[in-house]
Amino acid sequence: MKKAVVVGAGIAGIASAIRLQNKGFKVQVLEKNSYPGGKLTQINQNGFRFDAGPSLFTMPNLVTELFEISGKKPSDYFKYDQLEILCNYFYEDGTRISANSDITIFADEIEKKTTDSAENVINHLKKSAFIHKATEEQFLNKSLHKLSSFLSFSTITSIFKLPFLNIFSSMNQVNEKAFTDSKTIRLFNRYATYNGSNPYKAPGILNIIPHLEFGLGAYLPKGGMHEITNSLVKLAKEIGVEFSFNEEVTGIETSKNLAKSVVTKSGNYAGDVIICNADIHTVYEKLIPSAKKLAKVDQQERSSSALIFYWGIGKEFPELDVHNILFTEDYKTEFEHLFDSKTIYEDPTVYINITSKHIKEDAPKGKGNWFVMINVPSVYGQDWDVMIAEARKNILIKISRILGENIENLIEYEEKLTPQLIQDKTNSYKGSLYGTSSNNRFSAFFRHKNFSSQYKNLYFCGGSVHPGGGIPLALSSAKIIDTFIKC
Ligand code: FAD
């Protein structure tokens, strides 16, 4: 039986393992941590359960199809609900916008609360759906680095549609053309942060992202985001995938044009196929050192990182929902801090995720499990202790001001996740959440490919390679490499 070795049990590594085991390989996953999931983990403390990393779940079909290809009924392993309210938005002048997943209700809400018309919102979301349709097949489901990908009717039609996809304008320029009210513009600009980018630099084609929420839906797994990891690991083990935890890979042995085995403290694991889920920077820095490849990866700007406070809050706030955004008044300056001066803006946009609004067991009765996050730069030698202390103070001032209540007094439990911790825990270079940013119109083409041109049995999956970061794209990367590999 042919063997496949997967380096890393992040969501893309687990998905690749399931796909290859189904193909007939005997798959061994090696993970440096004592637990699977990489960024997709949870914290359970003092009666509060927090999803530690991702909080927004779109495109659940990319998870459920892994059960289907394994001959299992997805709902026996993994259940999820669709959210009616996508997000509640709060502005400093007291305006509150509730984004209903029903586009007409949302468009009416925008017309009522801003100077923009419902018609403009509908047209904008139609354009978002158009971009998705025009690019999904080519940019998200296929390698951009195989000639065969370009020799298809769908690719040729995609290329003809490029002038209509806003790749030559920034996302903000497109949104400023579509809307007049800064509140609506900020709301749509924020979608650039879904892959760690800057809406003032990222191309307008990223206006595809609202369609993922408004067109395809936002979901919450029963039991929380971490159930994505749990249920897939359960499936993988059932079909025969073997996992070794606390097993850090320190190198990949190669011979001529083949990757032969991976090296850990406890020995060598030989593989006919080797798949790296670890950040591509780690691969070229530590596993198959290559100064040339590393320099190429380094040329690309990293995505933003995050500072998260997990707060057990001793009170419920009816105005908050599962996803909430408290906007800064000066979004442009916030992004200049993130990507230019690599600092944290004093009035950051604050995201509060409260799964206990939907999953009652996630917090004691009358309380809430707050995941409070701001976007921060990735790690460039800043004085993080000072920056984090200042940011915590500013976040508390902002939330307290907008909700009219002293939030610090309500904190019953506190834990935090910083860019350095993200780097240390998952080997994500500079602690970036989504690998490289999309702050350049050619980013999609510069992102590392899913295979090695030097070693013909070495493949790459996960958020740092094509098609990019976020759970759906990380799962797509596993699907793409599945199309290359034969058993
Ligand atoms: P990872 O999760 O980074 O997994 C890589 C694995 O490889 C890790 O387990 C690591 O320990 C292991 N590894 C690395 N090096 C080695 C080695 N040498 N030997 C053995 N093992 C190794 N995405 C969304 O879709 N929605 C969101 O709302 C969202 N929010 C986010 C919020 C936060 C705070 C964070 C951190 C991320 C968020 N993301 C979100 C992004 C999403 O989590 C990632 O894109 C996705 O989980 C990446 O999965 P992955 O498999 O590529 O990598």
Contact 253, 137 (CB under 8 A): no
Q: What is the pLDDT of residue 381?
A: 95
Higher pLDDT, residue 140 or 298: 298
User: Which domains does the chain possess?
Assistant: 3-72+222-299+441-484 (3.50.50.60)
Smallest CA separation from ligand 1 atom 31, residue:
54
Q: Which atom number of ligand 1 is nearest to the Cα of residue 52?
A: 34
Confidence of residue 440 (pLDDT cuts 50, 70, 90): confident
| Nearest in space to 214 (alpha carbons), one of 286, 110, 291, 308 | 110
Contact 14, 480 (CB under 8 A): no
pLDDT digits (tens, 9 = 90+) for 176-188: 999 999 999 999 9
Mean pLDDT within 319-330: 98
Above pLDDT 70, what percent of the chain?
95
Tokens representing 257 are: 């044009």
Contact 369, 49 (CB under 8 A): yes
Q: What is the pLDDT of residue 151?
A: 56
Confidence of residue 166 (pLDDT cuts 50, 70, 90): confident
Q: What is the pLDDT of residue 157?
A: 64
Mean pLDDT within 359-365: 98
pLDDT digits (tens, 9 = 90+) for 349-360: 999 999 999 999
Q: Does the pLDDT value for residue 163 go beyond 80?
A: no
Tokens representing 17 are: 């393992």
Q: What is the pLDDT of residue 153?
A: 58
Pocket test for ligand 1, best of 28, 39, 479 (most atoms within 8 A of CB): 39
Please give the distance, rounded to the nearest whole angstrom, from the Cα atom of residue 365 to the centre of ligand 1.
31
pLDDT digits (tens, 9 = 90+) for 279-304: 999 999 999 998 888 998 988 899 99
> CA distances (Å), 108 to each of 103, 112, 269, 487, in order?
9, 6, 59, 54
Please give the distance, rounded to the nearest whole angstrom, from the Cα atom of residue 7 to the centre of ligand 1.
13
Tokens representing 374 are: 């701001």
Please give the distance, rounded to the nearest whole angstrom, from the Cα atom of residue 38 to the centre of ligand 1.
5
Q: What is the pLDDT of residue 152?
A: 62
Q: Hey, what's the torsion of the CAs at 27, 30, 33, 39, to 10 degrees? A: -60
Please give the distance, rounded to the nearest whole angstrom, from the Cα atom of residue 12 to the centre of ligand 1.
8
DSSP 451: B
Confidence of residue 142 (pLDDT cuts 50, 70, 90): low
Q: Is 311 helix (H, G, I), strand (E, B) or coil?
A: strand
> CA distances (Å), 170 to each of 4, 166, 175, 207, 214, in order?
42, 8, 9, 10, 21
Mean pLDDT within 450-471: 95
Contacts of 297 (CB under 8 A, 6+ apart): 280, 281, 284, 448
Q: Does the pLDDT value for residue 162 go beyond 70?
A: no
pLDDT digits (tens, 9 = 90+) for 16-70: 999 999 999 999 999 999 999 999 999 999 999 999 999 999 999 999 999 999 9
Q: Does the pLDDT value for residue 150 go beyond 60?
A: no
Pocket test for ligand 1, best of 34, 41, 277, 376 (most atoms within 8 A of CB): 277
Please give the distance, rounded to the nearest whole angstrom, from the Cα atom of residue 41 to the centre of ligand 1.
9
Residue 414: left if φ>0, alpha if ψ -120 to 50, beta else—which one? beta
Smallest CA separation from ligand 1 atom 42, residue:
470
Q: What is the pLDDT of residue 468?
A: 93
Q: What is the pLDDT of residue 441?
A: 79
Q: What is the pLDDT of residue 442?
A: 76
Above pLDDT 90, what percent of the chain?
88
Q: Which atom number of ligand 1 is nearest to the Cα of residue 11?
A: 51
Confidence of residue 402 (pLDDT cuts 50, 70, 90): very high
Q: Does the pLDDT value for residue 132 go beyond 60?
A: yes
Contact 273, 60 (CB under 8 A): no
Q: Which residues are near ligand 1 (CB < 6 Å)?
A: 7-13, 30-33, 38-40, 53-56, 248-249, 277-278, 282, 306, 308, 422, 426-428, 433-434, 462-463, 469-471, 474
- Among the ranges 158-172, 230-244, 446-460, which has the highest mean pLDDT value? 230-244
Smallest CA separation from ligand 1 atom 22, residue:
8
Mean pLDDT within 301-323: 97
Angle between helices 153-161 and 118-135 (to 10 degrees): 140
Mean pLDDT within 6-21: 98
Please give the distance, rounded to the nearest whole angstrom, from the Cα atom of residue 9 to the centre of ligand 1.
9
Please give the distance, rounded to the nearest whole angstrom, from the Cα atom of residue 107 to the centre of ligand 1.
34
| Nearest in space to 307 (alpha carbons), one of 209, 212, 393 | 393
pLDDT digits (tens, 9 = 90+) for 390-399: 999 999 999 9
Please give the distance, rounded to the nearest whole angstrom, from the Cα atom of residue 67 to the centre of ligand 1.
21
Mean pLDDT of the chain, nearest integer: 94
